[in-house]
């Protein structure tokens, strides 16, 4: 269980480290995802895990799918979003990566709707998605803390 907490916390740290530059410039620094991806790959290969190894490796699939969509839609979806989801999925596994992506999409849709209603953004303007991934990861981590505290 401790390993699972460490993976969630590392994913949260990673996403917030990338989210802050993404908010400012809508670009992610390359070194941070590379460092965390390397650490996740090494941990998945070398350390015993409470999460199945196939589950961990499959965690990259939602991010890879987002990268594919970015290529298909020629940049309407940012590549950095896919990279961040891919790295986060390698850390936490497929189930968590899907829950993370769904939660972040819901948060982004709600925030986008509010921004359009208040006139801060137009419907065709881009918004940074990585901060919503970071917020969703923080929310999931908080829910896990509450669930574990009750047991």
Token pair, residue 132, equals 């919503």
Give the Å distances, CA to CA, from 87 to 15, 34, 116: 9, 9, 31
Of 5-9, 72-76, 88-92, the range with the lowest mean pLDDT is 72-76
Instruction: List the domain range (segments joined by +) for residue 117.
Output: 2-150
pLDDT beyond 70 at 96: yes
The answer to whether 111 and 91 have CB atoms below 8 angstroms apart is no
Q: Enter the pTM of the model.
A: 0.87
C-alpha torsion sign, points 51, 53, 55, 58: positive
Mean pLDDT of 57-82: 86
What confidence tens digit (pLDDT) does each residue in 104-124 have? 999 999 998 898 898 887 777
pLDDT band with cut points at 50, 70 and 90 for residue 3: confident
Q: How many domains does the chain have?
A: 1
Take residue 44 and report the two structure tokens written for it. Answer: 């998945």
């Amino acid at each position: 269980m401790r390993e699972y907490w460490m993976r969630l916390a590392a994913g949260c740290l990673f996403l917030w480290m990338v989210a802050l530059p993404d908010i400012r410039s809508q670009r992610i620094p390359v070194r941070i995802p590379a460092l965390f991806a390397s650490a996740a790959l090494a941990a998945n290969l070398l350390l015993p895990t409470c999460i199945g190894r196939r589950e961990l490796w499959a965690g990259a699939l939602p991010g890879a799918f987002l990268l594919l969509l970015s290529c298909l839609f020629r940049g309407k979806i940012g590549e950095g979003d896919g990279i961040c989801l891919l790295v986060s999925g390698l850390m936490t596994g497929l189930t968590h990566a899907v829950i993370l992506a769904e939660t972040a999409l819901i948060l982004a849709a709600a925030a986008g709707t509010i921004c359009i209603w208040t006139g801060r953004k137009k419907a065709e303007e881009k918004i940074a998605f990585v901060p919503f991934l970071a917020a969703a990861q923080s929310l999931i981590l908080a829910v896990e803390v509450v669930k574990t505290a009750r047991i």
